[in-house]
């Protein structure tokens, strides 16, 4: 099992005819994702370079293909409307990869999305990941090398921009265990995946929630999903300065999570009041500092890595694998 997506998930790309949408649609296809088509208004009825059908609207695409997930690569000024269009069409998972979406646009979009979901059954609600995120991946067994000549046929499901080849399916992990990874940073997600793979761990699902101040899925919601997933043996959470998500997640972990958890918090040396990298990575009003997040996580029994180079080792320590000689 996994969370959010699996090998059977049918995926659309909104903005499929743009350069980034086209590039990453091809990458997802090579990984083995069931890409069903794309959406670009005014280009309905055409096909992209991969032979996928293009539709004018998300609703048309859903009705024709049965897709339940989408990735968004439209310009920032139109991204929030693309999110709402997908939700209105009944898409269950929306991964907005676009960076630079105006905060006020996202405030409006979140309010409208929450209103839509409030009137739906739990199974029919739309989950938003992002914006400004790498997406979501549930690895599958490797049957190729992630190139056009040798794609990962029927391997798993990748929605977004993450490099597929570094991920490891549980069946190929020397420990026979898979961890769930949730991160605000795309690059640190990839580093955590590489490090856990090198230590004999697979990944059940990796979720890049994005670094914007107003976004969809957060650490807490993702950790709840991982805790309920029988394939996920441990959880690696990567946070950063700004906001209180990590402290809230720590409180939930302490009270409810039985699985081993490791974490890393980026931005320990960032000065207050100065934005560092992500739009949401800023210490303001005395809140959002790295020290308070680390203290809350340690108090919850989380194994906290002191350096990004230690994330995989911290996960191995939390799972008791280093002491047994595995993953060291």
Q: What amino acid positions are annotated as catalytic residues?
A: 278
| Residues whose CB falls within 8 Å of the CB of residue 263, separated by 6 or more in sequence, listed in order | 236, 237, 238, 239, 246, 297, 302, 303, 304, 305, 314
CA 139 distance to own-chain centroid: 13
**Residue 255, helix vs strand vs coil:** helix
- CA-wise closest residue to 313 among 217, 257, 209, 234: 234
| Residues whose CB falls within 8 Å of the CB of residue 123, separated by 6 or more in sequence, listed in order | none
**Distance between start and end Cα atoms, the chain:** 27
d(CA 300, CA 185): 22
**Residue 164, helix vs strand vs coil:** helix
**Residue 179, helix vs strand vs coil:** strand
- 93 preceded by cis ω (within 30°)? no
Helices 290-299 & 245-256, crossing angle to 10 degrees? Answer: 0
Q: Which two tokens stand for residue 215?
A: 């976004």
Please state, as a whole number, how many other Cβ atoms lie within 10 Å of the Cβ of residue 211. Answer: 25
């Amino acid at each position: 099992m996994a969370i959010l997506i699996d090998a059977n998930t049918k995926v659309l790309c909104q903005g499929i005819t743009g350069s980034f949408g086209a590039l990453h649609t091809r990458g997802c296809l090579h990984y083995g994702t069931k890409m069903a088509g794309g959406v670009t208004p005014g280009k309905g009825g055409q096909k992209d370079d991969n032979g996928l059908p293009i539709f004018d609207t998300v609703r048309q695409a859903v009705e024709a293909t049965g897709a339940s997930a989408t990735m968004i690569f439209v310009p920032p000024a139109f991204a929030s409307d693309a999110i709402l269009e997908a939700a209105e069409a009944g898409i269950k998972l929306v991964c907005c990869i676009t960076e630079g979406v105006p905060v006020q646009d996202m405030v409006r979009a979140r309010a409208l999305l929450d209103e839509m979901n409030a009137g739906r059954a739990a199974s029919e609600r739309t989950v938003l990941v992002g914006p400004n995120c790498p997406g979501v991946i549930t690895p599958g067994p490797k049957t190729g090398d992630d190139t056009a000549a040798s794609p990962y046929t029927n391997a798993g499901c990748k929605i977004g921009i993450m490099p597929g080849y570094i991920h490891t399916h549980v069946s190929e992990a020397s420990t026979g265990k898979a961890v769930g990874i949730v991160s605000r940073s795309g690059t640190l997600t990839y580093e955590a995946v590489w490090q856990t793979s090198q230590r004999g761990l697979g990944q059940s699902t990796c979720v890049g929630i994005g670094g914007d101040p107003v976004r969809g899925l957060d650490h807490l919601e993702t950790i709840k999903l991982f805790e309920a997933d029988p394939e996920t043996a441990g959880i690696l959470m990567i946070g950063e300065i700004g906001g209180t998500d990590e402290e809230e997640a720590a409180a939930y972990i302490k009270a409810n999570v039985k699985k081993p958890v490791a974490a890393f918090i980026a931005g320990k040396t960032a000065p207050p009041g100065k934005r560092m990298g992500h739009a949401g990575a800023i210490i303001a009003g005395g809140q959002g500092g790295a020290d308070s997040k680390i203290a809350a996580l340690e108090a919850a029994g989380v194994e906290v890595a002191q350096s990004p180079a230690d994330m995989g080792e911290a996960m191995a320590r939390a799972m008791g694998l280093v002491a047994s000689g595995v993953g060291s």
